[in-house]
Chain A
Amino acid sequence: QSVLTQPPSVSGAPGQTVTISCSGSSSNIGAGYDVHWYQQFPGTAPKLLIYVNSNRPSGVPDRFSGSKSGASASLAITGLQAEDQADYFCQSYDHSLSGSYVFGTGTTVTVL
């Protein structure tokens, strides 16, 4: 099972702000490893949305923002749009045992 915990779902009306949390521990986010975020639409590959905690790749709208504090991270979507309805995953590295990249449990964003 994943070591990064996300809420299964969040929802909001168009124009609202939603926040997705990603809770880790002292062997991953809390150890200082960066957090990255991915967006996935049904039937398609995940797309890199945020890298190194708060950076957006070219082409990603600035309504997506990321932050990290302690052993947790967050993804905020401000000015929610219908096209933002998708699954979102956080990712980091965990140095426990033999080490592994780890993904969050995933959050489905529903636009009401």
Chain B
Amino acid sequence: EVQMVESGGGLVQPGGSLRLSCTASGFTFNSNAMTWVRQAPGKGLEWVSSTSASGVSTFHRDSVKGRFTISRDNSRNTLYLQLHSLRAEDTAMYYCARTPSEAGTFPYWYFDLRGRGTLVTVSS
């Protein structure tokens, strides 16, 4: 069974940092592109960052470029999102997602979300 468990969220002050983790199981992790999607309270979905299966290629939305970094450790089946210079507008539930290998190459990806997410709250 495909499973993804997000962790690392919490309450942080503006300007602070966090590292989110997503531990995956039930599929061949190193064959799947991975993505972080977030959802602010009561709002819609927003793509944050993606990485290719190898981790060589990474992509970030403009509003997080220079502040967030996506990475992965294929030996640990784990995806990361390093968050720096956090702002109030980064407050959201962060979900990790896999893109099945049959989806092809970027930008033709779609997202299979399975975890419960991890909540990041940026507030003083």
**A91 (CB) vs chain B CBs: closest residue:** B110
Say yes or no: B44 contacts A34, CB within 8 Å. no
Segment with Cβ contacts to A, from B11-19, B24-32, B77-85, B114-122: B114-122
Q: Which residues of A contact B108 (CB under 8 A)?
A: 33-34, 93
Q: Which residues of A contact B117 (CB under 8 A)?
A: 45
A interface, size bucket: 20 to 34
Which 10 A-B residue pairings sit nearest by Cβ, starting from the closest? Answer: A101-B47, A36-B110, A103-B45, A93-B107, A106-B44, A45-B113, A51-B110, A48-B112, A46-B113, A45-B95
Q: Which residues of B contact A103 (CB under 8 A)?
A: 44-47
Q: Which residues of B contact A101 (CB under 8 A)?
A: 35, 47, 50, 107, 109
Q: Which residues of B contact A48 (CB under 8 A)?
A: 110-113
**B93 (CB) vs chain A CBs: closest residue:** A45
**Cβ contact of B61, chosen from A46, A95, A100, A104, cutoff 8 A:** A100
Enumerate chain A interface residues (CB-CB to B < 8 A). Answer: 2, 33-34, 36, 38, 44-48, 51-52, 57, 89, 91, 93, 95, 97-106
> Can you name 17 extra interface pairs (CB under 8 A) apart from A2-B44, A46-B37?
A33-B107, A34-B110, A36-B111, A45-B95, A45-B115, A46-B45, A52-B103, A89-B45, A93-B108, A95-B107, A97-B62, A99-B107, A101-B107, A101-B109, A103-B45, A103-B46, A105-B44
Count A-B contacts at CB 8 Å.
61
Enumerate chain B interface residues (CB-CB to A < 8 A). Answer: 35, 37, 44-47, 50, 59, 61-62, 95, 103, 107-117
The distance in angstroms between the C-alpha atoms of A98 and B66, with both chains bound, is 14
**A6 (CB) vs chain B CBs: closest residue:** B44
> Can you list 29 pairs linking A and B with CB atoms under 8 Å apart?
A33-B108, A34-B108, A34-B110, A36-B111, A38-B45, A44-B116, A45-B95, A45-B114, A45-B115, A45-B116, A45-B117, A46-B37, A46-B45, A48-B113, A51-B110, A52-B103, A52-B110, A89-B45, A91-B45, A91-B110, A93-B107, A93-B108, A99-B59, A100-B62, A103-B44, A103-B45, A103-B47, A104-B44, A106-B44
